């Protein structure tokens, strides 16, 4: 039985004051009877504040991005060791905004995944198709290409140390959620593709859905057999809505 994970991706949002309020609200609301594991991924500059406020709680935290390099002359970058230094458990890699706005290739995403996994972080690998790719019937080909780039570089053992998030790009921040059936179909495809290489890894892998998840649609999505929780953007910035989604797990 796979545990559900609900992870919040704050993106480039927050302030010390707003984070404080949000994290205190989450600490007060996460608790007994919640089956999901809960995590938040704040902007890197607020990870120290998050670590301080959440340490001793059941909520985990992580980064939104990392460098594939270990250390050195890479201005503006954050290393895996720095994330570990602040007790991050997770790091998001290959979010569609990084791929689209910052030109991250499948190869670079795979290298980031490898760096994160080798350092002992749990990478959350985002995959997903653009609207045009869905409309032209290429969803599976795109997702397979993004997934295979990582598997080919790191192998099945390392893949199993991470989490996959299927995020159709047309559903991110748009209010258009994939229907539970649409999402389930792609999740099942991802699991079947993993199973071609290693059935046990496929069975144990957490595959999250992301894209306009809200308290009102989370339970139906999370009840699908191959959906093991969610990666939440907008709705993770408000304690009540994020907690509502966490309870749906
Ligand atoms: P959203 O973002 O929930 O605001 O659609 C999801 C994501 O980008 O991870």
Q: What is the atom index within ligand 1 of the atom nearest the CA of 235?
A: 3
pTM assigned to the model: 0.98
Segment holding 96, helix H or strand E: helix 96-101
- pLDDT at residue 68, as a whole number: 98
Residues with CB under 6 A from ligand 1: 9, 167, 172-173, 210-213, 231-235
State how many domains the chain has: 1
- pLDDT at residue 122, as a whole number: 98
Angle formed at CA 93 by CA 46 and CA 23, multiple of 5 degrees: 30
For residue 42, the domain's CATH number is 3.20.20.70
> How would you class 72 by CB atoms within 10 Å of its CB: exposed for 0-12, middle for 13-18, buried for 19 or more?
exposed
**Nearest in space to 67 (alpha carbons), one of 111, 34, 27, 31:** 111
**Nearest in space to 101 (alpha carbons), one of 179, 172, 197:** 172
Token pair 């792609």 in the structure block, residue: 186
The alpha carbon of 73 and the centre of ligand 1 are apart by a number of angstroms equal to 32
- pLDDT at residue 52, as a whole number: 98
Q: Residue 184 sits in which domain range?
A: 5-247
How many Å apart are CA 194 and CA 244, to the nearest integer? 31
pLDDT tens string 147-188:
999 999 999 999 999 999 999 999 998 988 899 999 999 999
The alpha carbon of 123 and the centre of ligand 1 are apart by a number of angstroms equal to 17
Of 166, 167, 216, 238, the one to substitute when testing ligand 1's pocket (max ligand atoms within 8 A of C-beta) is 167
| Tens-digit pLDDT string for the chain (249 aa) | 799 999 999 999 999 999 999 999 999 999 877 999 999 999 999 999 999 999 999 999 999 999 999 999 999 999 999 999 999 999 999 999 999 999 999 999 999 999 999 999 999 999 999 999 999 999 999 999 999 999 999 999 999 999 999 999 999 989 888 999 999 999 999 999 999 999 999 999 999 999 999 999 999 999 999 999 999 999 999 999 999 999 998
Of 164, 212, 221, 237, the one to substitute when testing ligand 1's pocket (max ligand atoms within 8 A of C-beta) is 212
How many Å apart are CA 78 and CA 217, to the nearest integer? 34
Segment holding 122, helix H or strand E: strand 122-127
- pLDDT at residue 175, as a whole number: 86
What would the two tokens of residue 190 be?
Answer: 């991802």
């Amino acid at each position: 039985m796979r545990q559900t994970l609900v992870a919040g991706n704050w993106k480039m949002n927050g302030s010390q004051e707003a984070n404080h309020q949000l994290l205190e609200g989450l600490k007060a609301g996460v608790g007994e009877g919640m089956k999901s594991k809960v995590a938040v991924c704040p902007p890197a500059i607020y990870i120290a504040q998050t670590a301080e406020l959440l340490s001793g709680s059941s909520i985990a935290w992580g980064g939104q991005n990392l460098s594939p390099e270990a250390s050195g002359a890479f201005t503006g970058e954050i290393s895996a060791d720095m994330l570990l230094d602040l007790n991050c458990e997770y790091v998001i890699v290959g979010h569609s905004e990084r791929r689209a706005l910052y030109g991250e290739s499948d190869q670079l995403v795979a290298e980031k995944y490898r760096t994160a996994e080798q350092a002992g972080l749990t990478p959350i690998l985002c995959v997903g198709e653009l609207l045009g790719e869905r409309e032209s019937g290429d969803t599976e080909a795109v997702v397979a290409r993004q997934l295979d780039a990582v598997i080919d570089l790191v192998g099945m053992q390392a893949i199993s140390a991470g989490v996959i998030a299927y995020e159709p790009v047309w559903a991110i921040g748009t209010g258009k959620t994939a229907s539970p059936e649409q999402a389930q179909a792609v999740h099942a495809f991802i699991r079947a593709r993993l199973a071609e290489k290693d059935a046990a890894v496929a069975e144990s892998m957490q595959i999250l859905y992301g894209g306009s998840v809200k308290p009102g649609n989370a339970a139906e999505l999370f009840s699908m057999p191959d959906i093991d929780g969610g990666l939440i953007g907008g709705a993770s910035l408000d304690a009540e809505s994020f907690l509502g989604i966490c309870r749906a797990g």
